[in-house]
Amino acid sequence: MKVVPVRESVGMFLAHDMTQIIPGEFKGAAFKKGHIVQEEDIPRLLNMGKEHIAIIEFNDGTIHEDDAALRLGQAASGIGVEYVGASEGKVTMTATQSGLLKINVPVLQEINELGEMMMATLHTDTMVTKGTLVGATRIIPLSIENEKMIKMEELCARSKPIVEVLPLKKFKVGVVTTGNEIFYGRIEDRFGDVIREKFAELDSEVFKQVFSRDDSDMIAKCILGLIAEGADIITVTGGMSVDPDDVTPEGIGKTGAKFVSYGAPTLPGAMFLLSYLGDIPVLGLPGCIMYSHRTVFDLVVPKLMVGERLTPKDISKLGHGGLCSTCPECHYPNCGFGKG
């Protein structure tokens, strides 16, 4: 920082806000930090009683906050994200499409540890719509060393983007509904409509629903039949508890599907099953999905629909944040559910 006469400050950057007070009319920043002094600003500064002002000098090794913020926004933004700015060293990042927000959390933390710059985002794995504010950056001082910006850009270049929004693939969904009581018409099925609504929310549709007795061989046959008809994902509803008649996991196993997890550290959704038959996810859905607004379904299925192949570790990580608060009015995804 350097102090110069006001009359000699044209073209220089103000080091801090310049406050002006007009009794009964105005009190605030007449000029903001970083403002480039213009010839027409001189009379106003003199009228404010400023004969000398503090300015910031830049050299070849330093960068103005706005230029640095743009570099940070550009380096961090990936698919489905645009950055806008800069103003006062700030850049905002918004979704250009609806989808699943992915944040490279380790690299985000590394950048924030560099100092003199920051980036804040929404939680990773949050469903967002086009236009959602997903992140923002700021350069803390008025200027920053270019060397530090180069370190930031190197961090971003050697990893996947810090902020991206992945579009969901359209899935052809097959549903197997189990239960003797439904198969024989003793009660009406309610699960099918719920699954249709859940996938419609994700811009996919159920192409076929079939019904099975509580018979593991029949369940397996139904699953294999839907896959033969082109299903991209199979959901099997009902029969997921420990009752003797609940044989859905056994039926899924008889298809040759490889289990990732039977059980998930989420409430609602503890009795969830994830398996794969080749590349096709086969899910065992517990009854809570039929009557709870948000469940393990909402935490897992969007990840499958952006092409992720989940592992046991991915499921175990759901425990941190996997407890739904069952609020009277649901605000998901703007809540802590699933935000580990």
Backbone angles phi, psi at 113, to 5 degrees: -80, -10
Same fold, 2-56 and 62-166: no
> What region does 29 belong to: left with phi over 0, alpha with psi -120 to 50, or beta?
beta
Residue 187 CA, chain-centre distance (Å), reads 40
Which pair of tokens denotes residue 163?
């902020």
Instruction: Give the β-pairing of 99-103 and 126-128.
Output: antiparallel
pTM of the predicted model as reported, rounded to 2 decimal places:
0.85
Residue-by-residue pLDDT tens, the chain, 340 positions: 688 898 888 888 887 778 888 888 888 888 887 788 899 999 988 988 889 888 777 766 888 888 899 999 999 999 999 999 888 789 999 999 999 999 999 999 999 999 999 999 999 999 999 999 999 999 998 889 999 999 999 999 998 899 999 999 999 999 999 999 999 999 999 999 999 999 999 999 999 999 999 999 999 999 999 999 999 999 999 888 777 668 999 999 999 999 999 999 999 999 999 999 999 999 999 999 999 999 999 999 999 999 999 999 999 999 999 999 999 999 999 999 999 8
What distance in Å separates the CA atoms of residue 172 and residue 317, rounded to the nearest whole number? 28
Q: Can you name the CATH fold of 172-319?
A: Molybdenum Cofactor Biosythetic Enzyme; Chain A (3.40.980)
Q: Nearest Cα to 142, choosing from 330, 249, 2?
A: 2
Give the span between the Cα atoms of 119 and 138, in whole angstroms. 7
CATH-assigned architecture of domain 62-166: Alpha-Beta Complex (3.90)
Q: How many CB atoms lie within 10 A of CB 129?
A: 10
Residue 24: what pLDDT? Answer: 82
Check if CATH label 3.90.105.10 holds for domain 2-56.
Answer: yes
User: Whole-angstrom Cα distance, residue 57 to residue 250?
Assistant: 72
Backbone angles phi, psi at 166, to 5 degrees: -95, 130
Question: CA-based diameter of the chain, in Å?
Answer: 92
What does the alpha-carbon distance between residue 228 and residue 26 come to, in Å, rounded to a whole number? Answer: 74
Secondary structure, 3-state, the chain: CEEEEHHHCCCCEECCCEEEEECCCEEEEEECCCCECCHHHHHHHHHCCCCEEEEECCCCCEEEHHHHHHHHHHHHECCCEEEEEEECCEEEEEECCCEEEEECHHHHHHHHHHCCEEEEECCCCEEECCCCEEEEEEECCCEEEHHHHHHHHHHHHCCCCCEEEECCCCCEEEEEEECHHHHCCCCCCCHHHHHHHHHHHCCCEEEEEEEECCCHHHHHHHHHHHHHCCCCEEEEECCCCCCCCCCHHHHHHHCCCEEEEECCCCECCCCCEEEEECCEEEEEECCHHHHCCCCHHHHHHHHHHCCCCCCHHHHHHHHCCCECCCCCCCCCCCCCCCCC
Q: Where are the domains of the chain?
A: 2-56, 62-166, 172-319
- Residue 241 vs residues 127, 157, 191, 275: alpha-carbon distances, Å: 29, 47, 16, 17
Residues 309 and 303: their CA atoms lie apart, in Å, by 8
Report the pLDDT value the prediction gives residue 244, as an integer from 0 to 100.
Answer: 67
